[in-house]
Chains A and B, each alone.
Chain A
C-alpha cells in the first residue's frame, strides 16, 4: 500500500475514534457532576428555601426528572448541537461559550507565540554556545519557568508591572470606558477590521500581562525541548555528512538539523494549544480575563450542570481535534512515523 493510502487510513481511524472519545468524556462529566456534593437549587435559592420553593425550582429546571431521562435529554441536545440553558439564569450555554471562547483563544494564541519566540531564542542561544554560561543560564531558565507555580508568577508579575509600576492594567480584557469593537469577539482582530486604533491599543495593553505571563511560563518547556532535540540532531550522521560536504554551518543547522528538532516541538505545541483553551485558569482568574476557564470555574462553584457540561464538551472537542491534527501533520511530514 502506498504511503498516501496509509496516511488516509491512519487519519480515518483516528477521526473515527473522535465520537467515541467525546461520548466517554461527556458521559463522565455528566455523571461526575451528579455525584459531586452540592446542588444547583442550593446555589440559586440558598439552603433556607422552603421545600415547596425548592421543589418548584427543581421542576422548572428539569432536575426532578430521573437521572437517565436527564442523561438522554443531554445527549440528545449535544447530538442536535444544543448545549441547553444555564440553570442559574437560563441563558443559552452556546452563547456564553461563544462569548468566552474568543477571549481564551486570543490569550492562548498570543501566549503560544510568545512562548515559541522566547523558547526558540533561549533554546537556540543555549545550543549555540554549549556548556557556556549562556547555556547554563538557558537551562536554568527552562527548568525555572516550567517549575514556577503559575498563580504565584502571575500575581508577582501583576504586583510589579500593574500595581507597583502601574505600567499596565491590573486586569480585564478591555477598558470599561471604551466601547468594545463589534464583530467576532476577537478584540484585536475586530479592532483591526474596524480600523479602530484606540481599541487596538487598549486590547493589546490588556493582553500584554496575561499573555506574557502565560508565554513565559510555557517557554521553558519549548526551550528545553528545542535544545535537547537540536543537540541530538546535530550529533546525527546526516549532519556529520552535511558538514563533511562543506556546507555552511548556517545551512547545516537551519536546513538539516532544525526540521528534525522541530518535530517534537510541534507535538508539544499541539498539546499546549489544546490545554491552553481550557487550562489557563489561574492566569484568567489572576488577570480577570473573561475566558472559558474562568467561566468553567464559576459554573462548577454554582453547580450549573449544563454550563459545565457544555464547556467541557466544547473544550474536549477542540483538544481532541487539535491533538489529531498535530498527529496527522507529524505523520505527514515525518517519514519515520509508522501507521
Chain B
C-alpha cells in the first residue's frame, strides 16, 4: 500500500535525521589542521593595498602586515618603528628629517631604505584614496642618503607627526609594486610587517610569520583572518569556540553586553582599546529653523546622553560632550552643555515655540546601522517625555551610502553619524567638521563644514584651525580647546558618545591588546596552553 510506503519513508527520514544530528554532535566541531589562530571580524576586506584600504578590517590586517614610520604607543606617545629616531624639524618647521632603520627587509627579501619609503609615499600621493590628507601638506619627498628621508612641507604642520603613524603610509616593496606604481594591487601585500600575506580569499586571509622580521617575532604561528557577515554569527562563533578571537565594532549592543558578561565570568578574555570613534548629530545651520543658534542650543540641551547610552548601549558607549576624544587631548574637559530640559524649554520659548507652537525637526538615521535607529527612537521618546509642548522629532531612515552622498547637499536637517579620525590627532576630529574655505556670515559655502552637512562656521574659526597646526605642546592644546568651545557655542554638531573598540578571545588564547590607533596587535596573541 502506498500509505505504508509513505510511513516507512517518513520513519526512515526521521531515523536518518536523528543519526545525522547525532553524528554532528560528535564530529561537526570545527576542523583544525593548522596551528594558526582564527580571528573573525564583520569587516569585509576587498583590498589590502595601503593606497586603497580604508575599512576597519583592511587597516587591522595592514597593521599586522606592515609597519608605519611611527606608531602611537599605549601611552599616547610617538614611538619610532621604521624610523630610527623621532622626526627632526628644521627650516622653520617646513622640513622634516626622518632617519630610517637599517635592518628592515620586505617580505620579498629586498631591503627597506629611503628610496623604498619615497616610492611608497609618492605612490600613495599619486593614487591613494586618502591622498588629499597627505598630499596637501607635502611639497616634495627626498632621499638624500640611503637611510634618510626628508619631507618638504607646503606649510608648517604639527599634526603631520601623527599622520606619519597612519598605516596607509606603510612602505611597500618597490620591486613587487613595480607594475602597480599607479594602480592598486589588491590581493597581494609585500611590506615589512611581522606577518606575510600567504592567501587572500573572499572570506579568508591567511597571515604567516615573516622569518626576517626586524623586531620581536609574533607570539603565534600565524593568523587566519575570516569574515562573518552578521553579528549573531560572530557572537556564536566566539561563544562556541569556533574562532579564537573576535574583533568587531559592528557587533550588536546586546551581544557586546553578553560577551562582556561572559568575560566577567572568565569564559572569555576581553580586551579594550582607546576610544577613538565618536557618535554625533549634525544640525543643518544654513536654513530655517536651525539657522537660529538659540534653537540649536536648545536642541543640544535636550539630549539626555546618559539615558540614551544606557537604553541603547547598556552604558557601554560613554556619553561624550566634546568632538575630540578625551584620550587625544589629555583632559576630560567638555564644552557641550549637559542635559537640561528646563533651560532647553526656556530657549525654545525665547525662539517663539512652546506656547501652542511646536518645533518639529526631521531626524535622519542610517537605516543599515541598528544602533542609529535605536538612538533615534530613544531620543524621540525622551523628548516626548521632557519637551512635548515645544519640540518633536520625525524619524527618517536612509541607507548610509545615500546619507553620505546627500549630506553635503544640505539634505538633512538633523542626522546621526559617527566619525573616526584618519590618524590619532585632535586635528583629525576638528578640521573635518569645522574647516571652511569660503563663507558668508555664519554659513560655510565650501569646505569641510559644508561637506559635513552643517554648513556652519564663524568668523576667525578657520584661522584658529590653521594656527593650531603651527603650535605645539600646551599652546596647541589651549588653542584646540578654544576651537572646541567655539564649536560648542555654535551647536551645529552635538557629540553624543564615544565607542570603545573591544575584542574577545577564548580562555585558551591571551587577552587581545590594542595599539594607540585602536587596532588589535595580532602579533601579541598567543595560545596559553602552549
Contacts and interface: CB of A to CB of B under 8 A. Distances in A.
Contacts of B408: 47
B215 interface: no
A249 B4 CA distance: 12
B371 interface: no
Contact of A37 (B7, B30, B36, B402): B402
Interface stretch (A18-26, A65-73, A85-93, A270-278): A85-93
Contacts of A43: 401
16 contacts: A36-B402, A38-B402, A42-B401, A50-B132, A89-B52, A163-B235, A163-B236, A170-B232, A171-B229, A171-B236, A171-B237, A172-B228, A201-B27, A201-B31, A202-B31, A301-B400
Contacts of B9: 121, 124
A200 to B, nearest CB: 11
Contacts of A53: 129, 131-132
Contacts of A47: 404-405, 407-408, 451
A166 B2 CA distance: 38
A299 to B, nearest CB: 10
Given A44-B129, A46-B404, A175-B30, A170 B24 contact: no
B6 A177 contact: no
Contacts of B216: none
Contact of A198 (B3, B24, B31, B451): B31
B342 interface: no
Given A42-B404, A172-B203, A177 B36 contact: yes
A27 B380 CA distance: 42
Interface in B1-50: 1-3, 5-7, 9-10, 13, 20-21, 24-25, 27-34, 36, 38, 44, 46-47
Interface in A187-244: 198, 201-202, 205, 208
Nearest to A286: B230
Interface in A34-61: 36-39, 42-50, 52-53, 57
A287 B130 CA distance: 33
Contacts of A89: 46-47, 52, 184, 186
Given A37-B405, A47-B407, A167-B28, A288 B229 contact: yes
3 pairs of A and B residues whose beta carbons are closest in the complex: A163-B236, A170-B236, A38-B401
A168 B242 CA distance: 10
B442 interface: no
Name which of A36, A43, A46, A178 has the most chain B CB atoms within 10 A of its CB: A46
Contacts of B28: 167-169, 205, 208
B118 interface: no
Interface in A96-129: 99-100, 117, 121, 124-125, 128-129
Given A89-B184, A177-B224, A167 B401 contact: no
A46 B24 CA distance: 45
Contacts of B451: 47-48
A115 B432 CA distance: 53
B24 A172 contact: no
Interface stretch (A6-14, A154-162, A321-329): A154-162
Task: Place the interface of chain B in its size category.
Answer: 35 or more
A95 to B, nearest CB: 11
B232 to A, nearest CB: 6
Interface in B397-427: 399-402, 404-408
Nearest to B25: A167
Interface string B181-208: 0011010000000000000001110000
Interface string B122-161: 0000000111100010000000000000000000000000
B287 interface: no
A284 B228 CA distance: 11
Given A177-B224, A250-B5, 8 more contacts: A38-B399, A38-B401, A46-B54, A166-B29, A166-B240, A249-B1, A285-B230, A298-B44
Interface in A237-289: 249-250, 253-254, 284-288
A209 to B, nearest CB: 10
A288 B236 contact: no
B187 to A, nearest CB: 8
A48 B33 contact: no
Contacts of B13: 117, 121
Interface of A: 36-39, 42-50, 52-53, 57, 88-91, 99-100, 117, 121, 124-125, 128-129, 155, 158-159, 162-163, 165-173, 175-178, 198, 201-202, 205, 208, 249-250, 253-254, 284-288, 290, 294, 298, 301-303
Contacts of B2: 124, 128, 249-250, 253-254
A173 B228 CA distance: 10
Contacts of B239: 163
A218 B190 CA distance: 47
Given A42-B401, A175-B30, A288 B203 contact: yes
Given A89-B46, A163-B240, A125 B52 contact: no
B224 A176 contact: yes
B268 to A, nearest CB: 14
B227 interface: yes
B229 A250 contact: no
B206 to A, nearest CB: 8
A128 B6 contact: yes
A128 to B, nearest CB: 4
A83 B38 CA distance: 35
Interface string B227-250: 111101101110111100000000
A91 B32 CA distance: 31
Interface string B283-315: 000000000000000000000000000000000
A242 to B, nearest CB: 14
B117 interface: no
B230 A302 contact: no
Nearest to B12: A121
Given A47-B405, A170-B233, A177-B31, A290 B203 contact: yes
